[in-house]
Amino acid sequence: MSNLAIFGGEKTIEKEDEEVFKREVSEEIEKKVLEVLREWKMSDIDITKEFEREYAKWYGVRYALGHNNGTAAIHSSLFGLKIGKGDEIICPSITYWASALPALSLGASVVFADIHPETLCINPDDIENHITERTKAIIVVHYAGYPAEMDRIIEIAKKHNLKILEDCSHSHGSLYKGKLTGTFGDVSAFSLMSGKGFAIGEAGIMLTDDREIYERAIIFAHYERHSEITFDYLKKGTGIPWGGYKYRMHQLSSAVGVVKIKYFKEEMEEIDKAMNYFCDLLEEIPGIKPHRPPKNSGSTKGAWYHPVAFLEKEKLEGLSLTRFCEAMRAEGISVLPGCNKPLHLHPLFHTIDVYNDGKPTNLRNIKGNIVQSKGSLPVSESIGKRVFTIPLFRKFKPSIIEKYASGFEKVLKNYKELLKGDKGDPEDIGKWGLTLGI
């Protein structure tokens, strides 16, 4: 008999070393935030503009527009792309709801594509299956920081004359073949909320090189910046936001941002070093496969938001993810089964009539049948039973990282003992929103 903690053995991690996981708030950040607060500039836009300039510089793009959250940045981006009544957008089914939902209030519909079982991003092989004459844009999510296959996605978009919106809420600093994710599409949107890789509070940002997208986002929800508008058709209606929304970024977040961005590269390098070291150790253990791009591909996971790994059940006689995670938690290592739930199965996309149209909102402006039932996107529907979150090390401390990896090894080496009493995985696994555990 092994000494697995789930059966009363010694725990691998008696007390978590908080230092390796903790986020730091420097004195410089505190000072800047207090300055904005004391000058009562919380709703001004001067610090936000400074932050936008720095963010745009980092990404090498022309325009950056701060928002009060990532959802708002996606909403403005979709309006910027002229998504409207009767249009369809294609979005991966495994993502946070905000990648898709803002399209509904614009009168558009969402059609979901399956994800790739290894990248967990939209599968280029499935995109064309969902393109119709109404399709206007592809939403790309670099899921859990893993860069999506942009070469193929761009090729498909060009072939069908579609726009690309990159949702980079998980991929701050991630590179695809050496180039930053968020610089491939027509527009990109980032959540900067406190759980994210680049975290500055409830905030978001939109990036684009296209002046018209930028100005449309301004006319939509940033009335305080209407003086920047140059397009005649937009100029006619300045003064109030066309969308009826106010998406201005909170300047306490911008204050955190202007300081954080100065040190982010270093912070990210440390995380990347620590996480690659950890994943190298995990890769040696039969039964587990970390989710990360191949080495020497030029692709990276940036700040490693929400790192996950796959449980290779076929090598473990079908051990359930739930049972494995229970055993890991008993060892003192926090791992959670599942990922975002498949959006295409949510009732909102089947039956719910949000705006009193007399028909389901996702179908209200189109004639075709785009309802996607169970069985339609097999990878998205089954992936939750294979992936689990792994600890996110922010500091490169080899001895601590090794200790955690040894906990995985201990559990997986003794997996046979866990098969007894394994009740399997529940049908409903994962969460609609991961950040606050909802």
Ligand X SMILES: Cc1ncc(COP(=O)(O)O)c(C=O)c1O
Classify 195 as helix, strand or coil: coil
> Could you tell me the CA-to-CA distances from 96 to 72, 152, 164, 342 in Å, in that order?
14, 23, 18, 9
Contact 146, 293 (CB under 8 A): yes
Q: Please enumerate in sequence order all residues whose Cβ is within 8 A of that of 157, keeping only pairs 6 or more positions apart, or say none.
A: 138, 163, 164
Q: What is the three-class DSSP state of 234?
A: helix
Task: By CB under 6 A, tell whether 376 contacts ligand X.
Answer: no
User: 141 vs 316, which CB is nearer to ligand X?
Assistant: 141
- Per CB under 6 A, the list member of 12, 69, 251, 380 interacting with ligand X is 69
Stretch that binds ligand X, among 32-40, 56-64, 92-100, 132-140 (CB under 6 A): 92-100
Show contacts with ligand X in window 125-164 (CB under 6 A): 141
Q: How far is the CB of 306 from ligand X (least distance, A)?
A: 8
Under 8 Å CB-to-CB from 263, ≥6 apart: which residues? Answer: 26
Output 248 or 323, the one with its CB closest to ligand X: 248
- Binding to ligand X by residue 119, rule CB under 6 A? no
Is residue 109 close enough to count as binding ligand X by CB under 6 A? Answer: no
List binders of ligand X among 180-209 (CB under 6 A). 191, 193, 204
Task: Candidates 95, 251, 254, 365: give the one binding ligand X (CB under 6 A).
Answer: 95
Stretch of residues binding ligand X (CB under 6 A), selected from 27-35, 69-77, 282-290, 410-418? 69-77
- Select the residue interacting with ligand X from 136, 163, 170, 291 (CB under 6 A): 170
d(CA 70, CA 206): 8
- Residue 377 and residue 419: Cα distance in Å, rounded? 29
* 435 binds ligand X per the rule CB under 6 A: yes
CA-CA distances (angstroms) from residue 197 to 12, 301, 342, 412? 28, 10, 23, 29
Q: Of the two residues 69 and 322, which places its CB atom closer to ligand X in the complex?
A: 69
Quick one: 144 or 330, whose CB is closer to ligand X? 144
SS3 state at 333 = coil
Q: Among residues 66, 70, 290, 302, which is the contact residue for ligand X, using CB under 6 A?
A: 70
Verify binding: residue 389, ligand X, rule CB under 6 A: no
- Per the CB < 8 A criterion, the answer to whether 291 and 120 are in contact is yes
Using the rule CB under 6 A, give the single segment among 8-16, 33-41, 91-99, 416-424 that binds ligand X. 91-99
Total chain residues near ligand X (CB under 6 A):
15
Give exposure, 314-341, as e/b (b: 16+ Cβ within 10 Å).
eebeebbbbbbbbbbebbbbebbbbbbb
Q: What is the dihedral of CA 30, 36, 40, 42, to 10 degrees?
A: -100
Stretch that binds ligand X, among 106-114, 165-173, 331-339, 406-414 (CB under 6 A): 165-173
CB-based closest residue to ligand X: 70
Helix axes 321-330, 398-413, angle to 10 degrees: 130
Asked if 66 touches ligand X (CB under 6 A), the answer is: no
By CB under 6 A, name the binding residues for ligand X: 69-71, 95-96, 98-99, 141, 167, 169-170, 191, 193, 204, 435
